[in-house]
């Protein structure tokens, strides 16, 4: 599904910074080895997430929907030095790939991956978040929103 015309996508790509090497490797491996690789955030969305994270300088981020870790890496780039990102995904089979690229990107010490049903995991997390990024199964977005609402710091996004 394309939300933009090819012409607009080409323009955006031409005006954006190139993908860094680790994220390019992650993109390639995702497309080679994982079903539904179109779920990958990609360069443009990744740069946007990184920019938002850098602007907010968050101490805590919650991501719902890890997939192969692209967006987690981008979000982790703007964390404070003592910051932490918790990412949740239903598919534990992708954990080795995520861990590999978190390490290559130099953010593994800032990311905690949790695997299972986010609807059950979120209530067990006792944290306040500066940013919450919901990018999991679309049918549960409202449920995720309701579960995280009280966990977002007052000035959070």
0.95 exceeded by pTM: no
Contacts 24+ apart (CB under 8 A), 11-15: 12/44, 13/43, 13/44
For 19-151, CATH gives 3.40.50.150
Is the pLDDT reported for residue 151 higher than 90? Answer: yes
**Closest Cα partner for 134 from 115, 153, 116, 147?**
147
Task: Quote the percentage of the chain above a pLDDT of 70.
Answer: 97
pLDDT per position as a tens digit, 21-44: 999 999 999 999 988 888 888 888
pLDDT (0 to 100) of residue 64: 98
């Amino acid at each position: 599904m394309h939300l933009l015309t090819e012409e607009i996508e080409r323009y955006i790509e031409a005006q954006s910074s190139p993908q860094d090497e680790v994220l390019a490797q992650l993109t390639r491996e995702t497309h080679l080895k994982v079903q539904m690789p179109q779920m990958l955030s990609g360069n443009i969305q990744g740069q946007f997430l990184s920019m938002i994270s850098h602007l907010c300088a968050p101490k805590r981020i919650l991501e719902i929907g890890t997939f192969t870790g692209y967006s987690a890496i981008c979000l982790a780039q703007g964390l404070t030095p003592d910051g932490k990102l918790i990412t949740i995904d239903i598919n534990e089979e992708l954990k080795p790939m995520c861990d590999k690229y978190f390490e290559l990107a130099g953010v593994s010490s800032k990311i905690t991956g949790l695997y299972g049903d986010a609807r059950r995991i979120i209530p067990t997390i006792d944290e306040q978040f500066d940013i919450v990024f919901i990018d999991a199964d679309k049918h549960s977005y409202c449920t995720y929103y309701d579960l995280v609402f009280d966990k977002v710091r007052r000035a959070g996004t």
